[in-house]
Amino acid sequence: MNLETLGLYCDVIRSGSFSLGAAAHRISQSAASQAVRQLEEEIGAQLIDRTKRPFMVTPEGKKFFEACLTLLDAFEKARADITEQKTQVVGTVRVAVIYSVGLQDMGFYTQQFTTRYPQAKIRLAYLHPNEVIEAVVNDESDLGILSFPAPHRSLTILPWHDEPMVFVCHRTHPLAKKRVIGAKDLLDDRFVAFERNLPIRKAIDKALRQRGAKVEPAMEFDNIETIKQAIAINSGVSILPRPSISREIENGMVVAVPLDMPELVRPIGIIHRRQKLLTPTAGKLLEFLQNLKR
């Protein structure tokens, strides 16, 4: 006896026909009749009186039919509840994100996501790039967002978007009025650079080197925020991702000028553990971020 057989029995009784009940289950009429006979043997009672035309349901058959309906309805409800729990966008998603992306964008994205899914929460952790990787690998975060993501045996890396790099200076700087900045324009200025071990510094150095310009930094920092502060007080110039300085440009604190280096971009990626099954909420957030238009 199984749920499929019980469902077949109910369809035979509801339709008043072995052939119609069999057709609903895509089996032959004889197979349906045999299945009902086996039910009668297992229960030890006659469920259908086949001597009548059309057949008649016995009192025991009616009682068993009602019990089967209750059982099948309870099963379908339980299955629907479990399916809903598996797909419901509820609970907390832990996201580790680098400062320059998190402080600039994630507050806005979080608000949009939680407005769409009120039962979901996003817990953000602002970290340095290597710390983002560690948080995801150690299962302290469900998702990670960082720049220049490198291949990692424990991580799945999903490209998110590329951010164009621009020349950034104080609004009173002589180069602020130029339409395009070339590598040679940087040679005689106080250049504020990223620390040498950072991927963004390596990408900038490579682009300058390919154009025959070797720039000696006047200062080096490990984060964009400190570099922006140095530029805002007119202590130097730099090359930064355009989205990371959008607010400073709007406030008139700095000026951004396009570079004659179209290949110089900062790639942003989303990471998660390779072998980890994402929760429905984490999966929905990942889908939401990937579908954002920038």
- Reported pTM: 0.68
Do 137 and 190 belong together in one domain?
no
**Of 87, 111, 144, which residue sits at a domain end?**
87
Express each pLDDT in 232-263 by its tens digit. Answer: 999 999 999 999 998 899 988 999 999 999 99
**Which residue is associated with the tokens 């710390």?**
131
Do 19 and 153 belong together in one domain?
no
Do 152 and 193 belong together in one domain?
no
CA–CA dist 104, 5 (Å, integer):
59
How far apart, in Å, are the Cα atoms of 167 and each of 237, 239, 243, 293?
A: 7, 5, 12, 24
Residue 105 has pLDDT above 80, yes or no: no
Helix (H) or strand (E) holding 156: strand 155-170
* Angle, helix 107-116 to helix 280-290, in steps of 10 degrees: 120
Please check whether residue 256 is in contact with residue 245, taking contact to mean a CB–CB distance below 8 angstroms.
yes
- Nearest to 132, CA basis, from 280, 293, 268, 289: 268
Question: For residue 137, what is the domain's CATH number?
Answer: 3.40.190.10
Sign of CA dihedral 110, 141, 133, 278: negative
Do 244 and 183 belong together in one domain?
yes
Question: For residue 25, what is the domain's CATH number?
Answer: 1.10.10.10
Please check whether residue 165 is in contact with residue 227, taking contact to mean a CB–CB distance below 8 angstroms.
no
Residue 271 has pLDDT above 90, yes or no: yes
**Domain interval for residue 53:** 3-87
**Of 87, 118, 151, which residue sits at a domain end?**
87
If one counts the domains in the chain, the total is: 3
Mean confidence (pLDDT) of the chain: 89
Residue 187 has pLDDT above 90, yes or no: no
pLDDT-above-90 percentage for the chain: 56
Do 11 and 45 belong together in one domain?
yes
Do 157 and 196 belong together in one domain?
no
Do 83 and 96 belong together in one domain?
no
Query: Count of alpha carbons within 13 Å of 72, Cβ hemisphere only?
Result: 16
Say which DSSP state 52 is in: S
| Three-state secondary-structure class, residue 126 | strand
Residue 83 has pLDDT above 70, yes or no: no
Do 109 and 180 belong together in one domain?
no
Say which DSSP state 27 is in: -
Do 156 and 240 belong together in one domain?
no
Look up residue 109 and give its two tokens.
């994205």
Amino acid 3: pLDDT: 87
Express each pLDDT in 141-184 by its tens digit. Answer: 999 999 999 999 999 999 999 999 999 999 999 999 999 999 98
